[in-house]
Amino acid sequence: MVEVKAKLQEVFQLQKQHQHIIKKTSAEERIEKLQKLKAEILAQTPAILEALQQDLGKPAFEVVSSELLNVIGEIDYYSANLKQWMEPVEVPSRNEGAVAKIITEPKGQCLIYSAWNYPFMLLFLPLIPAVGAGNVCILKPSEMAPATSNLSAKIINKVFEESEVAVIEGGVDVASALLELPFNHIFFTGSTHVGREIMQAAGKHLASVTLELGGKCPVIVDEKVNLEEIVPRIASAKYSNAGQICLAPDHVYVKEGQQEEFVRLVGEYIQRGYFENSELNTTDLSKIINDRNLQRLEGLLEDAIAKGATVQVGGKIKDGRLYPTVLTDVSFDAKIMQEEIFGPILPVLTYTNLEDVIDQINARPKPLGLYVFSEDQQVVDLVLSNTSSGGATVNDVVRHMLEPNLPFGGVNESGIGRYTGIFGFKEFSHERGVLYQAPVGNNPLETFGHTPYKGKLEMLMQRIK
């Protein structure tokens, strides 16, 4: 560990020196670097598919749709808009003859941690705004996805000098050692529990933080919707990546009397999507990342069943995979209703009054995402105006994250700060307010504030109305 700490210090000091050069780079230079990164990612696509297959058994379709396309799309979006975002913005001044401007400057030295569930996307997506805003940074990939961590380091080393972007691989000991360094900004994706530690450590140096955390994202289904239409939207997001998605629907509320139909349709979706000749088709279903998490999910299932839950679909394990599962009769006392599920288990709950559902949601920490399905705008408004969440999608799930003009992030326990698009650029920037006063001039307001104050107070008092 002594050697690792020495290496961290060396890289940190190198970047400390170099940040001033990077800070002065133009939009064109930054875009050129991002495009170089894109070219390397495209060249490495087969290796990326292979690494994610090794780490998560992730189907190639899911790697391309949810890891690669997000990153490539964000690079192109930055390439099209960065120049404009970097321009100083002039704002009205209250000082006669002066000019007021907001000048955007990089935060400086940044640290980015990623989680293991989208180990490629969650490392590279925040790197784009970090580079776009002109920062130097150290990346710490998740040790739980080692093949992707290793490949990410190779890609970064090929595109960037260590003095600008460096990857430090390792486990919790390395992650903790990095927190001792006085970074200007820490961008963390991971669990709420570790997020708290990050924020505490950041407090020592008063570093700003972005915390992209998790939580239990609820789905509310109004009675007047076409279940056949909406069930595939919910089920595809729940079982993609084996439910290991921060924004995955955690549990669903359906109107009393509609549960049976809802469960039947989810069962049909599972049958169509994940079975061939009654056998689980493991090529389209990701693995659970490791034994510890598989055991955690097994434990959640056992506990729920012991407290009265009925397994309607799935519940079995094969080759490190948990079958897509549906539960009913789940007690609120069960652990599965206390913690983020983060796996392919869908509790289907029932309600009679929407107000009860709203109360139940408000009794928990604010979730990262909230989803309401209804054709009735009043129902949508009732839910949105009486709850809070990082973001929300109406009549679908997860998709608000894919909108480049919407901020993506949590609120309180599901996170602090936001990114993607201009929101990421701002997150990695310091907005510096600069007032340009004329060096010489006849500004009566200026001399008014000079001592002696005699005779001036009355004039000042007239301004307090």
- The enclosing H or E element of 346 equals strand 345-351
Q: Which two tokens stand for residue 54?
A: 């090794």
Tell me which residues in 326-385 interact with ligand NAD (CB under 6 A).
340, 342, 368
SS3 state of residue 342: coil
Q: List the x/- string, 229-258, binding to ligand NAD by CB under 6 A.
A: -----------------x------------
Q: How far is the CB of 403 from ligand NAD (least distance, A)?
A: 15
Give the one residue of 95, 163, 191, 437 binding ligand NAD; rule: CB under 6 A: 191
Structure tokens at 224: 């007047």
Q: Is 464 in the site for ligand NAD (CB under 6 A)?
A: no
314 touching ligand NAD, by CB under 6 A: no
Using the rule CB under 6 A, which residue among 63, 166, 179, 231 binds ligand NAD? 179
Q: Which of 162, 180 has the CB closer to ligand NAD? A: 180
The answer to whether residue 246 is catalytic is yes
**What Å distances lie between residue 404 and 81, 305, 407, CA to CA?**
11, 41, 8
Residue 413 engages ligand NAD in binding (rule: CB under 6 A):
no
| Closer residue to ligand NAD, CB minimum distance, 55 or 329 | 55
Closest residue to ligand NAD in the complex (CB): 214
How far apart, in Å, are the Cα atoms of 361 and each of 217, 259, 456?
A: 9, 19, 57
Stretch that binds ligand NAD, among 6-14, 112-120, 423-431, 451-459 (CB under 6 A): 112-120
Put the strands of the sheet holding 429-436 in their side by side order.
Answer: 89-91, 99-106, 429-436
- CB atoms under 10 Å from CB of 89, counted, come to 11
Which residue in 62, 110, 246, 413 is the catalytic one?
246
Task: Output the DSSP codes for 65-103.
Answer: IIIIHHHHHHHHHHHHHHHHHHS-EEE--SSTT-EEEEE
The answer to the question of residue 186 lying near ligand NAD (CB under 6 A) is no
Please, which residue, 122 or 225, has the CB nearer to ligand NAD? Answer: 122
Half-sphere exposure of 276 (CA within 13 A, CB side): 5
| Contact between 313 and ligand NAD per CB under 6 A | no
Burial of 23 from C-beta contacts in 10 A (0-12 / 13-18 / 19+): middle
Examine the residue annotation and report whether 110 is marked as an active-site residue of this protein.
no
Among 213, 234, 361, 411, binds ligand NAD (CB under 6 A): 213
* 218 scored as a contact of ligand NAD (CB under 6 A): no
Nearer to ligand NAD by Cβ, of 172 and 206: the residue is 172
> Which of these ranges, 53-61, 161-169, 170-178, 457-465, lies near ligand NAD under the rule CB under 6 A?
170-178
Catalytic residue among 164, 212, 413, 427: 212
Half-sphere exposure (Cβ direction) of 397: Cα atoms closer than 13 Å? 28
Q: Rounded to whole angstroms, how far apart are CA atoms 289 and 325?
A: 17
* Residue that the structure tokens 């549960």 belong to: 259
Radius of gyration of the chain (CA): 26
Indicate the residue among 176 and 281 with the shorter CB distance to ligand NAD. Answer: 176
Kindly list the catalytic residues.
212, 246
Binding interface with ligand NAD (CB under 6 A)? 113-117, 122, 140, 142-144, 172, 175-176, 179, 189-191, 194, 197, 212-214, 246, 340, 342, 368, 410, 415
